[in-house]
Amino acid sequence: MKYDFDQILDRRNSNSVKWANTKERDILPMWVADMDFKAAEPIIQALEERVRHGIFGYATLPNAYYEAEIGWWKKRHQFTIKKEWIEASTGVIPSLSAIVQAFTEPGDRILIQTPVYNHFASSITNNGCVIVENELTFNGVSYEIDFADFEEKASHEKVKLFILCNPHNPVGRVWSEDELKRLGDICLRHNVLVVVDEIHRDLVYKGTRFIPFASLSEPFLMNSVTCTAPSKTFNIAGLKTSNIIAANAENRQKINRSLNRNEAIEPNVFGIEGLISAYTWGEEWLDQLLDYLEGNRDFFMAFLKERMPKVKTVLPEATYLMWVDCRSLGISSKELSQKILEKGRLRITDGVIYGEAGEGFLRINIACPRARLAEGLERLASVVSSVC
């Protein structure tokens, strides 16, 4: 069927974090990473059917859940995984927290590549560990890895984990095979476990290939744990359902114990149906979504070039999150994002929440109908022209 991503839907009375947090009704939210699109029809139908059953007691994972997860890895990412490698959990962030607890003692160090998704930092510090930053390098067009710095930091005896974000939120990179191999080899050399967050793996634009880290070699498979979920791909984050892929049995056992300690393992009755229907029947919707998002991305790039030439945007290889370089405006990203909120009535994210390396940048969520995106861009342009 043909999906209509131009449809404008009112989310204000749906307890949405993105919309309900915006008290004043005239504020347009383009911040937190969920989409203003209706889910795929097969997902809605599966949930409706489950609702009609009428009993929502504690749930257990059926075989179809595992088959759907395994099937999606194979058909979309050419990676064959085994059922026993899968540990289900209630979200990637709860998973990361449980993984940190499973493999570290308070005071241990964990490597991340900033600017990066802010909850990596909170999962580390909430569990008494220390953040070690391997800052990504911006070459004016895209982001690169400083491997010498990465190796120096990974070699510290207290560094136990590296949390890799691929595709990378917020800079939009999909790490290449060569980059992944270099990172993985360094981690093997220094006995650092790679925790891979691949939640954005399905939202990759044409011309770029996403490679699951664990698929690259047996040593990488055994020295990694991969977190993933259908939530970003299918806009079902509220169903609180994700998976950890851990081929190494000893690691998996530790993770299972930690998830249980955190009570983050009980499946959600609707999450089960959401995952099965998404991964079994969701491809048609996803392919159309990717075309639409690519159109939004190109619309965004063209708008900025024409109307805000001083502001530069990194062309994302993946994700619906635009990473906008506003440093030429000579104003801090905190002050700029506040002005955009107060004067432009547009809520976007200050880049500095992703680490100091994000100073001067803004993150803008473009997963909305194009007319809404155009409205947001007009609001942005009006503020940017007032500070130029």
Binding region for ligand PLP (CB under 6 A): 33, 91-93, 117, 165, 169, 197, 199, 229, 231, 237, 242
Q: How far is the CB of 200 from ligand PLP (least distance, A)?
A: 6
In angstroms, rounded to a whole number, what is the distance separating the alpha carbons of residues 386 and 271? 45
Do 155 and 190 meet the contact criterion of CB atoms below 8 Å apart?
Answer: yes
Q: How far is the CB of 113 from ligand PLP (least distance, A)?
A: 12
Q: How far is the CB of 321 from ligand PLP (least distance, A)?
A: 8
Q: Where are the alpha helices (DSSP H) in the chain?
A: 17-20, 41-53, 63-77, 92-103, 118-125, 147-154, 177-189, 218-222, 231-234, 249-261, 269-281, 283-307, 333-342, 370-387
Cα dihedral: 221, 272, 197, 155 (round 10): -50
Smaller CB distance to ligand PLP: residue 108 or 197? 197
Smaller CB distance to ligand PLP: residue 231 or 337? 231
Smaller CB distance to ligand PLP: residue 296 or 344? 296
In angstroms, rounded to a whole number, what is the distance separating the alpha carbons of residues 131 and 80? 33
- Token pair, residue 71, equals 């099937």
Q: How far is the CB of 45 from ligand PLP (least distance, A)?
A: 23
Neighbours of 206 (CB within 10 A): 8
Smaller CB distance to ligand PLP: residue 22 or 384? 22
CA 11 to chain centre: 21
Smaller CB distance to ligand PLP: residue 22 or 319? 319
Smaller CB distance to ligand PLP: residue 242 or 277? 242
Which residues 6+ apart lie within 8 Å of 373 measured at CB?
Answer: 30, 296, 299, 300, 366
Smaller CB distance to ligand PLP: residue 199 or 265? 199
Measured distance between the N- and C-terminal CA atoms of the chain, rounded to whole angstroms: 46
Q: How far is the CB of 313 from ligand PLP (least distance, A)?
A: 18
Buried b (16+ CB within 10 A) or exposed e, 107-124: ebbbbbbbbbbbbbbebb
Q: How far is the CB of 90 from ligand PLP (least distance, A)?
A: 8
Q: How far is the CB of 14 from ligand PLP (least distance, A)?
A: 17
Q: How far is the CB of 19 from ligand PLP (least distance, A)?
A: 16
Smaller CB distance to ligand PLP: residue 21 or 328? 21
Smaller CB distance to ligand PLP: residue 122 or 382? 122
In the complex, residue closest to ligand PLP by CB: 91
Q: Is the dihedral of CA 241, 269, 127, 256 positive or negative?
A: negative
In angstroms, rounded to a whole number, what is the distance separating the alpha carbons of residues 2 and 4? 7
Q: How far is the CB of 383 from ligand PLP (least distance, A)?
A: 25
Q: How far is the CB of 171 from ligand PLP (least distance, A)?
A: 11
Do 319 and 200 meet the contact criterion of CB atoms below 8 Å apart?
Answer: yes
DSSP-assigned beta bridge partners for residue 321: 365
Q: How many CA atoms lie within 13 A of 137 on its CB side?
A: 8
Smaller CB distance to ligand PLP: residue 133 or 284? 133
Rg (CA), the chain: 21
